[in-house]
Amino acid sequence: MRHHIAHAVRGRLRVRYPVPWLRTRYDDIESRLRSVPGVREVHGSKVTGSLRIDYDPFRLAEQSLVDTLEEMDTHLAGGRRLPTRAPKIVPRRTPPLVNVIGATSILAAAWLPAPPAITGALVLACSLPSLLRAAGALRRRRLNGDVLEAATLLLLAARRHYGAAALLTWLRTIGEYVVANTVVSARRSLRDVIAPPDATILRVEGDATRAVPVAALRVGDVVVVAAGQRLAVDGTVTRGEALVNQQTMTGEALPVERREGDAVFAATTVEYGEIAVRVDRVGLDTAVGRIVRTIEAAADEKSDIQAFAERLADRDVGRTLALAALGAVVARRVDAGTAILVSDYGMAARVGIPTAILTSIRRAFRHDILIKGPRVLENLARVDTVVFDKTGTLTVGSPLVTRIARYGAFSEDEILRFVAAAERPFHHPVARAVTRLAAERGLELPEAATTERVGLGVDVRIEGAHVLIGSRRFMETHEIVLRASAADEAAAHSVGASPLYVAVGGRLAAILVLQDQLRDDAPQAVQALRARQMRNVILLSGDHAEPTRVIAESLGLRHHYADLLPEDKARLIAELKAEGRVVAMVGDGVNDALALEEADVGIAVPGGAEVATEAADVVLLRGGLDRVVQALDLARESIQGVRRTLGIAARANLAVVGLASFGLARPVGSILLSHGTTVAAAIVNTARGDRPAPVKRPARRRA
C-alpha cells in the first residue's frame, strides 16, 4: 500500500504518498477520485505528497473511500485501469429541530391527565432511538452510555414515571440540538468570511446594473464594486481603477492599485475607487472558499478530550449500574437507584465538551482566525514551543534598497536603470524592490534585450552593454573580480542586509544593499509568547547566517537556524517533537509547507502561499503576529471551558449520589440536577460565542 491515512474526520480524509510516486500519478488519482459519487473536492500538493479528499458523509462511507484508494494503489503501480465500484450509501438522519419538536410534545403530553397506557406508549415511542442504539451496543457485547440510558428509560417507564422518562429524552434531544446549532453557527460565521448570507452586489446587465444576491452570481458575470465594499468573488478587473486592501490574501499591509487585467480576490475590500470585475470563481471555489470548505469538513470531528471523556463514561457504565443497585438496597427505595442511574458523564462528553470547543472556533472565525477543527484547537492549547520562519513571517518579506555602492564611472541612476530594466520581467521581492525605487526616482527604463535568468543571477544586454546582476557566487562563475566590494559586503552582512552585485562589460560596477524590514509587531509578539510560559521561541530561515543572526538578536531569540532547506526545517520540527514538545510552526511560503505539515500545529500568516495555507492547521486571514498569540489564548480558554463543564457535571453527579444514599433523591430532580445543569452549561458556553476574543497582557517574564 503506497498511501497512509494522515488524518480522518467525518467528511474529510487526508492521505500521504511518497512525493516521487505521487508526482507522476497525481492527475490519474485526482481524476479517479473526482469520479467517485459523493466526493466533493480533491486537493493535493505534489510538493508535500499530501492529498485531501472532501466527501459527503451522507452519501459516501469512509471505508468505501479507503477501499477505493487501496485499489488505486494496486492498479496504478501495475499500470492497469481501475474498475468502477459502487460506493456504500449512508442513511440520512432526522434533523435535530424535528427531534426537539417531537420530544417537547411528548414531554408536555406526559404531564397531562391522560390514560397511562397512551402516555407510556408515547414515551416509549419517543425513546425508541435510544433503545435501538442500546440494542446495537448489546449485540456488539458492549456496555456504553446508550445501554445506561435505555436501562434508565425502561426502569422509569416500568415504574410509571413517564414524566421523568420524557424529561430525560427531552434533555438529551435539547443537548443534541445545542451541539448541532453550534456547528451550524460556526459554519455560518465561517461563510461570512466570504460574504454574509444576505449580501447583495451590483451585477452588470446590458447597459444597466441590478442588485442581486451574491449566491446568484455565476462564472462570467460582471459585477461592480465601489469603495467600502467587500469583494465576494475571485475575478479579473475589466474596467476602472481602485485601491484594494488585499491583506487577507497577499499579506500586503497597504492597499494596492488594481486596474484592468489585474486579479482580485474574495474577502478583500475596495478602499478607494470603483472597478468592474469579471467573475472567475464564486463561493467555495474562491481561494478563501477552499480554506472554508476544509474547515467545514472538520467541524463534526471529535476532539481527543471528547473521545477520552466518552470512553471514560462508557467504562463507568458497569460501575454506575452496580452503584444504582447498591443505592436502592441501602436506601430501600427503587427510586434511589433510578436517580443514581442518571448520574453519568455521557451528557457532558456528548454535549458540554463539543459546544465549548466549537464556540471557541466560532469566536476565532469572527476575528479572522480560521482553525481547522476541534483537534487543532486542542493541540493549539497544548503548544509549548513556537517556531517562526523569518522571511515574510517575522519580516515584511519586501526588501528595500538601502544603499548603492559604486565602483566605476556609472552614476547611481544609471546603475538603477540597468538593474530595473533587467529585473522588470520578474516578480520576486528583489525585482519589486528595484523597480519600485526606479519608479520613485522617475527613471525612464531602457529596453533589455535577450534577458536570461541563470541560477542566481540575470545575464542581459542593455543599450549595447553586457550586464550581469546577481549573487557573489553568480559573479564568481563569470570570473568577475570582487575585491573592491569586500568592505561594503562585510558592512551589509553586519546589519543583516544582502548585497546584489552588478557588473557591466565584465567589471564590477556596483552593489545594491537590500534589507528586509522586521515587522513592527514582531517584538511584542515574541514578548507575549514568552510571557505565556513557552519552553522556547525559535527562528528558522533559509537565508544566510548573518541576516538571520541580526533578526534573532533584535528579538532576543537565542535559538536560531539559518541556511535551511525545506526538508531541514521539517527535520528540526520532528526533532523538537521527539523531545516531547508540542510545536507550532508559523510560516507563509512554499518552502514552509513541509514544516507546517510536520508541526503539531501549522499556522499560516496573512498572505501565505496557497500550498502553505493548505498545509496549515490555522490560517490567519488578516492582522499581525498578535493573531498568533490571540489564537493560543482562545485555545487555552476553550480547554478551561471544557474543564469547567466537566467540573459542573462532576459536582452535580456527586450531589445526586449523595442525595440518593439518604433516600432523598427523586427521578425528576436527579435528572434536572445531573443532565439539566450540563445542558444549561452548554447553552451558556454557546452564548459566550458572541463575546470578543481574549486580549491578555500578562506580566513580562524572561524566556
Catalytic sites, residue numbers: 389
Please say whether the beta carbons of 340 and 324 come within 8 A: yes
DSSP 3-state of 269: strand
**DSSP 8-state secondary structure symbol assigned to residue 345:** S
Number of Cβ atoms within 10 Å of the Cβ of 364: 26
444 contacts: CB under 8 Å, gap ≥ 6: 417
Question: In whole angstroms, what is the distance from residue 148 CA to residue 171 CA?
Answer: 15
Copy the grid coordinates of residue 340: 443514581
Distance CA(257)–CA(272), nearest Å, equals: 9
Q: Which of 14, 79, 82 is nearest to 48 (CA)?
A: 14
Please work out, in degrees rounded to the nearest 5, the angle formed at the alpha carbon of residue 363 by the alpha carbons of 357 and 365: 105
What is the Cα–Cα distance from 661 to 613, expressed in whole angstroms?
A: 56
CB 667 within 8 A of CB 171: no
Backbone angles phi, psi at 57, to 5 degrees: -70, -15
User: In angstroms, rounded to a whole number, what is the distance separating the alpha carbons of residues 328 and 595?
Assistant: 58
Alpha-carbon gap, residue 287 to 281, rounded angstroms: 8
Spatial CB neighbours of 340, under 8 Å, sequence gap ≥ 6:
320, 323, 324, 327, 656, 657, 660, 665, 670
Angle CA(577)–CA(582)–CA(588) in degrees, nearest 5?
A: 90
- φ and ψ of 383, to 5 deg: -60, 130
